[in-house]
Amino acid sequence: MAKSAWTDDLAVASPAPVDFRGAHIKLTNSEEETTPPTLPLRGIFDIKSKHYDVVLEKDRISWSLILPTMQSGRRRSIHASVSLHDVYAVGIKRVEKPGKNRGYPEGVIIYVATPSKKDPNVLTEERITLRSTNEDNCQKWRCAIDSALKGLGGRPRKLRAFVNDWVNDGEATRVFYSKVVPVFQVAGTRLDVIVTTREGSAHQILQKVDFDDYDGLVCVGGEETTREVIHGLLERTQLDADLVEITPDTNLTKCEIPLGIIPVGLFNLVAHSSQGTSDPFTAAIHIILGHLHPLDVSAIFHNKEFIRFGFSMMYGFAGDCLRRAEQRAKGVINARGLDYAVAKSVFKVRTYRCAVEYLPCESNGVFSERSPCRTGCERCKVKHPSNGEADREVSWPLTAGQRADDMASGCDNDTGHDRNGQVNRGCQDIETSPIRTKAADGTDKTQEWISVKGDFVSVGAMTLPNLCNWCPGGISPLTHLADGCLDLVLVRGTTRGEFVQHLRRHASDKNQFDFPFVSVHRARAVRFHPLGANDKPCTTIFDKGQGEGDTTCGEEASLEDDNGGAVPRTGKEFSMWNVDMELMASVPMEIRVHKQLLTVFASGIQDTDHSARSCRCL
């Protein structure tokens, strides 16, 4: 297998040797086990000082008031219920008494995960206590509810967790032991924990872990930990499938073991995009309840050589922001440093010359008619064939001939459309080139690469909507999590005022793509080429350096064109890649989307109101 980002010289950050300390803890329910009674089970308990008839079924617990209350001269019956799919733990509430080890029982306590009223993506804890002082009765009901929860299936019982202790003064470790461990402890889920103290530890450990011993993996940390664990997990999956070399045409093996992400970073793009929030408690509940959601992952190549996996690849403005933020922080990026970097990048906003090729999805459709990916999304449930094959089920079915005719007549050679359907004419030298792929029936099918060349403020290729606290609606809000396509967002040169308006809309419910200088295309593959003097295509980088101040790259760094000639590279010509919030050199890249390559503990995104958010420094 080719070098990964943790061993490749294209990544700005250099790898560190493995150095970790392991800590193994077993978290189980301390109550004694008894034979569970048969269901349905009925009993009488006090709930909030009133007598209720409680009924436990295999997937629900309900209670009814025994003596209906009087309201306006009429008897009013009170009935309520909770789905066991929302119950993540059950135990016995006790009152400590001198001379009694476990204390006296006060009742059966049920832990329920409920959506927050302010944001349905955030889960909160609700405790329901079935009050009873009878020890045998409490044990019987606790055992019955616990048995019913286990009967639901799909919930992990044993997990391997990686906790990042080397970034931000151990913030991930503090969050893990204060907010996450108590939740797993009450749920009776076992965690085998490894606390890493050096970059690269988790990646190397994952190459030796026996996945058969665990129901899933958990990573606790920010962007660094998430990138490292995901890359190590996917790389291990390919090695287990005897895929030693990864090329752009390789059909990768899907990872079967799910990954839970406890977000403790500044952006948390993967966790926030799949869960709708960066709340650690919510992430822990999704893991305990066994909520699963597939994710598309991009494989990134340079000169046909595999570099790494990624979700968000951005060139231009996003790369400039991250570079300035890292230069100011000299370590971990904080909110103030990011505000400074964004403000300075806006003040010095500029365009970069580049050429972009993309292979459009079969279901390109009309952009203004697309809907965002939400929990239960039907499109992400559809099973598509592997990469290189045509979609069997699509939202907008188009044959190859229909798609070519539509792009030639209605899309002006697919120069791009804004959200109102108006043609964007900022691109130059639009070209198409054929490529042969296999259709679902095994026959050859010709598809066309669309080529676009011009001056761009920003180029983004995203398989996730990229939600974060700065962009609650997402950098690319209509990108689906698992439909096998990415969104290619092209922002052309414009005035600073219009670009600021475009940025501000990312922090609101307004349409940030409703500008004539912005176009969005759905693609299965993207090729990107930074252009040097005289538009010479650059293929390799043989010397690079990171400049100081506002210089994007070292003045002595150069690129090599297709004919072997050196193209002078100055700080004003090239930006840097921002790949999942990690800087990478400004090199040509090829990006291939792999459908549902990874599965995470999450339930997708719920609709919520973002109108009250601000754009901070803007």
Per-residue pLDDT, 509: 76
Q: Rounded distance, CA 87 to CA 57, Å? A: 13
Question: Sign of the CA dihedral 247, 253, 254, 259?
Answer: negative
Q: Would you say residue 324 has pLDDT above 80?
A: yes
Query: Which residues have CB under 8 Å from 370's CB, separation 6+?
Result: 478
Q: Give phi and psi for 168, each to the nearest 5.
A: 60, 40
Per-residue pLDDT, 21: 34
Q: Residue 331: left if φ>0, alpha if ψ -120 to 50, beta else—which one? A: left
Cβ contact 259:231 at 8 Å: no
Per-residue pLDDT, 146: 93
Cβ contact 474:400 at 8 Å: no
Query: Taking the model in full, what pTM does it have?
Result: 0.81
Q: How confident is the model at residue 241 (pLDDT cuts 50, 70, 90)?
A: very high
Per-residue pLDDT, 189: 94
Query: Which residues have CB under 8 Å from 129's CB, separation 6+?
Result: 47, 93, 106, 107, 108, 109, 110
Q: How confident is the model at residue 422 (pLDDT cuts 50, 70, 90)?
A: very low
Query: Which residues have CB under 8 Å from 47's CB, separation 6+?
Result: 54, 63, 128, 129, 130, 131
Q: Would you say residue 321 has pLDDT above 90?
A: yes
Query: Which residues have CB under 8 Å from 71's CB, separation 6+?
Result: none
> Mean pLDDT in the chain?
79
HSE-CB at 59 with a 13 A cutoff on CA atoms is 3
Q: How confident is the model at residue 45 (pLDDT cuts 50, 70, 90)?
A: very high
- The amino acid that residue 501 corresponds to is Q
Of residues 432 and 131, more confidently modeled: 131
Q: How many CB atoms lie within 10 A of CB 508?
A: 17
Least trusted range by pLDDT, from 12-26, 227-241, 490-504: 12-26
Q: Where are the domains of the chain?
A: 41-152, 349-593
Token pair recorded at residue 356: 């972009």
Long-range contacts at 469-474 (CB < 8 A, ≥ 24 apart): 469/267, 469/272, 469/278, 470/267, 470/338, 470/506, 470/507, 470/615, 470/616, 471/506, 471/507, 472/507, 472/608, 472/610, 472/613, 473/506, 473/507, 473/508, 473/509, 473/610, 474/273, 474/372, 474/506
Reported as a single tens digit per residue, the pLDDT across 61-115 is 999 988 765 555 565 667 899 999 999 999 999 888 776 667 788 999 999 999 9
Q: Would you say residue 125 has pLDDT above 60?
A: yes
Domain 41-152: CATH architecture, name and number where available: Roll (2.30)
Per-residue pLDDT, 227: 94
- DSSP β-bridge partners for residue 428: 453
Determine the distance from the C-alpha atom of residue 390 to the mean position of all C-alpha atoms in its chain, rounded to a whole number: 25
Per-residue pLDDT, 170: 83
- The amino acid that residue 156 corresponds to is P
Q: Give phi and psi for 468, each to the nearest 5.
A: -160, 175
The 3 state secondary structure assigned to 241-305 is CCCCCCCCCCCCCCCCCCEEEEECCCCCHHHHHHHCCCCHHHHHHHHHHCCEEEEEEEEEEECCE
Using CA atoms of 601, 603, 607, 613 in order, give the dihedral in degrees to the nearest 10.
-10
Per-residue pLDDT, 396: 25
Alpha carbon of 489 to those of 312, 476, 551: distances in Å? 11, 8, 25
Per-residue pLDDT, 610: 59
The whole-number average pLDDT for the span 452-470 is: 92
Reported as a single tens digit per residue, the pLDDT across 284-308 is 999 999 999 999 999 999 999 999 9
Token pair recorded at residue 176: 């893990």
Per-residue pLDDT, 237: 95
Per-residue pLDDT, 519: 92
Pairing of strands 305-310, 428-438: unpaired
Q: Rounded distance, CA 568 to CA 553, Å? A: 12
Q: Rounded distance, CA 194 to CA 77, Å? A: 52
Reported as a single tens digit per residue, the pLDDT across 98-110 is 766 677 889 999 9
Q: Rounded distance, CA 103 to CA 97, Å? A: 5
Q: Rounded distance, CA 552 to CA 559, Å? A: 14
Q: Rounded distance, CA 451 to CA 215, Å? A: 44
Please return the burial class of 309, using the count of CB atoms within 10 Å of its CB with bins 0-12, 13-18 and 19+: buried
The whole-number average pLDDT for the span 514-532 is: 91
Q: How many CB atoms lie within 10 A of CB 79?
A: 10
Least trusted range by pLDDT, from 196-200, 283-287, 441-445: 441-445
Q: How confident is the model at residue 560 (pLDDT cuts 50, 70, 90)?
A: very low
Cβ contact 513:490 at 8 Å: no
Of residues 367 and 187, more confidently modeled: 187
User: Which H or E element spans position 235?
Assistant: helix 223-240
Q: Would you say residue 450 has pLDDT above 90?
A: yes
Tokens 């109101």 label which residue?
Answer: 609
Alpha carbon of 104 to those of 76, 136, 306, 421, 480: distances in Å? 34, 12, 62, 69, 52
Percentage of the chain beyond pLDDT 70 is 72
Per-residue pLDDT, 95: 85
Q: Give phi and psi for 430, each to the nearest 5.
A: -75, 125
Please return the burial class of 571, using the count of CB atoms within 10 Å of its CB with bins 0-12, 13-18 and 19+: middle
Pairing of strands 259-263, 123-131: unpaired
Reported as a single tens digit per residue, the pLDDT across 341-384 is 999 999 999 999 999 999 998 765 555 567 888 988 888 874 54
Where in 463-530 does DSSP place strands (E)? 486-492, 518-530
CATH number of this structure's domain 349-593, picked from the four choices 1.10.10, 2.120.10, 2.60.40, 2.60.200: 2.60.200
End-to-end CA distance of the chain: 44
Q: Rounded distance, CA 473 to CA 325, Å? A: 23
Q: How many CB atoms lie within 10 A of CB 372?
A: 15
Q: Supply the Cα-derived Rg of the chain in whole angstroms.
A: 27
Q: Residue 444: left if φ>0, alpha if ψ -120 to 50, beta else—which one? A: beta
Using CA atoms of 223, 225, 226, 230 in order, give the dihedral in degrees to the nearest 10.
140
Q: Would you say residue 398 has pLDDT above 60?
A: no
Determine the distance from the C-alpha atom of residue 497 to the mean position of all C-alpha atoms in its chain, rounded to a whole number: 31
Per the document, the length of the chain is 618
SS3 417: strand
Q: Would you say residue 337 has pLDDT above 80?
A: yes
- DSSP β-bridge partners for residue 541: 559
